[in-house]
Amino acid sequence: MKLSGQVAIVTGAGRGIGKSIALKLAGDGAMVVVNDLDATEAEATVSQITHAGGVASSFAGNIAHDDFGDEIVQFSVQTFGSLDIIVNNAGYTWDAVVQKTTDEQWYAMIDCHLTAPFRLLRAAYPILKEAHQHDQSEGRRRHRKIVNVSSVAGMFGNPGQASYSSAKAGVMGLTKTLAREWGRINVNVNCVAFGLISTRLTADVRDGETVQIGDANIKIGVKSDLISRMEQDIPFKRMGTTEEAAGAVYVFCIPETNYVTGETLLCSGGLLAP
């Protein structure tokens, strides 16, 4: 197992892409801290991992809260003794054309998709630096991995998603900067930009599913005719699965990519723009 003995944080891992990432990393030996806004969903992912023989622990909480980054980093170290992999995956969409986007919507997307990863990584830096210094004292080289999640919307823009697209573009800038700053402590910082992946965020909006974020009850999903048009622009003529999405993240976590940093991998089935 390539990730045996390593400790990974995966945010938004109660369902969808995050859950598949947590299962993938745990299946290759990582001890996983499973975060989700919904404690029940987080525990369900942990249960699935442990029933398969893996090791995991849940940490429920809203990534956008000011102290979340510090708290989950401390929990990871206290629970498993180290920190080796961070996957900043959690997120949701709150769409509107720009002239109808409120300040609340704008900051909700920026806080969730950009500020929260920044705070988590800032909190993790002392742990990662200390681990690197310990490696040096023992005469060994070891790489630790950060994988941030972006979107084709951040690369190309998408109508109705000014705030989301801006935040996801910012994630790529954060990735490139930290790759340059953290190479000296042997931390690889990369990014995966997803296209159309089959989750509840890309289900038919007419199903009426919502997410409760604080006091806001937000409708999620996409119009089925828009999904159909986008699928026609994908060479495979279908959405990706969460397992396929997790595979793209996994690539950046294994030793084979120890000399890859500051990159954004487009996982979209060939879809170049929404």
pLDDT tens-digit series, residues 218-237: 877 777 888 888 899 999 99
pLDDT of residue 47: 98
Per the annotation, the verdict on 164 as an active-site residue is yes
* CATH number of the domain where residue 109 is located: 3.40.50.720
Asked if the structure places residue 59 within a domain, the reply is yes
Catalytic residue among 92, 125, 164, 250: 164
Q: Is residue 188 part of a domain?
A: yes
Q: Which residue has the tokens 């929260």?
A: 116
- How far CA 23 is from CA of 7, 35, 81, 116, 127, in Å, comes to 13, 13, 20, 23, 24
What residues make up the domain containing 58?
7-201+238-265
| Prediction pTM value | 0.95
210: in domain: no
Is residue 25 domain-resident?
yes
Strand blocks (E) in the chain: 7-10, 31-36, 55-60, 85-88, 144-151, 187-194, 210-213, 216-219, 264-267
Q: Please check whether residue 217 lies inside any domain of the structure.
A: no
Residue numbers in the chain where pLDDT is lower than 70:
206, 208, 274
Count of domains observed in the chain: 1
* Residue 2 forms part of a structural domain: no
Q: Is residue 21 part of a domain?
A: yes
pLDDT tens by residue, 178-190: 999 999 999 999 9
Question: How much is the pLDDT for 42?
Answer: 98
Asked whether residue 215 is domain-assigned, the answer is no
Residues 240-254 as b/e (b if ≥16 CB within 10 A, e otherwise) read bebebbbbbbbbbbe
